[in-house]
């Protein structure tokens, strides 16, 4: 498991009192997390991975599961790398 994914899993588990959902489990549909946690996830992503979440990115689908959060962060970081090389 890469460190980015492990960091996300650890953050989610802390907010679920140690319960560790599968990477693809929908955290909100399962009732484990609330809309308030959605705000906390966005803040976590921005501060931990230095990714600015704006506009259309503020979509619950980007943050519905551990895997989706990981894919979102990876795609944003890849975009930042491409912009830095230009």
pLDDT in tens, the chain (86 residues): 589 999 999 999 988 877 889 999 999 888 877 788 889 999 999 999 999 999 999 998 999 999 999 999 999 998 865 444 44
- Cα(84)–Cα(60) distance, integer angstroms: 28
Q: Please say whether the dihedral angle defined by the alpha carbons of residues 17, 20, 21 and 26, taken in this order, is positive or negative.
A: positive
* Structural domain boundaries, residue 41: 3-85
pTM for the structure as a whole: 0.86
Residue 5 is classified by DSSP as: H
- Cα(33)–Cα(27) distance, integer angstroms: 6
Domain count, the chain: 1
Instruction: Give the domain CATH number at 67.
Output: 1.10.1200.10
């Amino acid at each position: 498991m890469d460190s980015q994914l492990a960091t996300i899993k650890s953050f989610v588990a802390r907010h679920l009192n140690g319960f560790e959902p599968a990477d693809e489990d929908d955290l909100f549909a399962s009732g484990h997390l609330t809309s308030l946690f959605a705000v906390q996830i966005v803040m976590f992503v921005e501060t931990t991975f230095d990714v600015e979440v704006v506009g259309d990115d503020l979509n619950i689908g980007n943050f519905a599961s551990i895997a989706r959060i990981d894919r979102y962060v990876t795609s944003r970081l890849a975009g930042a790398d491409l912009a830095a090389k230009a």
